[in-house]
């Protein structure tokens, strides 16, 4: 007999991945459009460096 254990698959959001890799999200991220914030988080994760305020200005 084989016993299996079903575990829920957790979706890793860009916000969670950023916090795991770089620490807390920048406070200014709450002040911008949510779609733009998500795009910036993905950009930072691809780049491998945390976000800076200047990233939003470019």
Structural domain contains residue 7 = no
Residue 29 structural domain? 24-57
pLDDT class of 58 with cuts at 50, 70, 90: low
Residue 28 lies in a domain: yes
Of residues 18 and 58, the one with the higher pLDDT is 18
| Residue 15 domain-assigned (yes or no) | no
3-state DSSP assignment of residue 2: coil
Distance in angstroms (rounded) separating the CA atoms of residues 6 and 22: 31
Nearest Cα to Cα of residue 14 among 29, 1, 32: 29
* The pLDDT of residue 29: 92
What tens digit of pLDDT does each residue of 22-53 get? 999 999 999 999 999 999 999 999 999 999 98
In a domain, 6, yes or no: no
> Does any domain span residue 44?
yes
Higher pLDDT, 30 or 4: 30
**Cβ atoms 20, 47 nearer than 8 A:** no
Task: Give the predicted TM-score (pTM) of the model.
Answer: 0.77
- The total domain count for the chain is 1
Considering the domain boundaries, does residue 14 fall inside one?
no
């Amino acid at each position: 007999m084989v016993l299996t254990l079903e575990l829920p698959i957790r979706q890793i959001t860009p916000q969670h991945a950023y916090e795991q890799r770089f620490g807390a999200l920048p406070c200014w991220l709450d002040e911008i459009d949510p779609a733009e914030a998500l795009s910036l988080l993905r950009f930072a994760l691809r780049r491998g460096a945390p976000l800076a305020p200047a990233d939003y200005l470019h």
